[in-house]
Amino acid sequence: MNLRAGLAVLFLAALPAMALAQGAQVAFGGLRQDSSLPVEITADELRVDQAAGTAVFTGQVIIGQGEMRLTARKVVVEYATQNGTTTGRIARLHASGDVVLVNGAEAAEGREAVYSIDESSIVMTGDVILTQGQNALSGERLVVDLNSGTGVMEGRVKSIFQPGAEQ
Q: Residue 167 domain-assigned? A: no
Residue 84 lies in a domain: yes
Assigned domain for 40 exists: yes
Q: Reduce the DSSP state of residue 21 to 3 states and report it.
A: coil
Q: Is 165 a member of any domain?
A: no
DSSP 43: -
Residue 166 lies in a domain: no
> Is the separation of the CB atoms in 138 and 157 below 8 Å?
yes
Residue 117 domain flag: yes
Has residue 125 been placed in a domain?
Answer: yes
Q: Where are the beta strands (DSSP E) in 104-120?
A: 106-116
Query: In CATH, what number is assigned to the domain containing residue 75?
Result: 2.60.450.10
pLDDT at position 129 over 90: yes
- Are 113 and 129 contacting, i.e. CB atoms less than 8 angstroms apart? no
Residue 123 inside a domain? The answer is: yes
Q: Which residues contact 90 (CB under 8 A, 6 or more apart)?
A: 39, 77, 78, 79, 80, 117
Residue 91 belongs to what domain range?
3-160
Q: Is the pLDDT of residue 102 over 60?
A: yes
* Domain total in the chain: 1
| pLDDT tens figures, 37-94 | 888 999 999 999 988 889 999 999 999 988 889 999 999 999 988 887 788 888 999 9
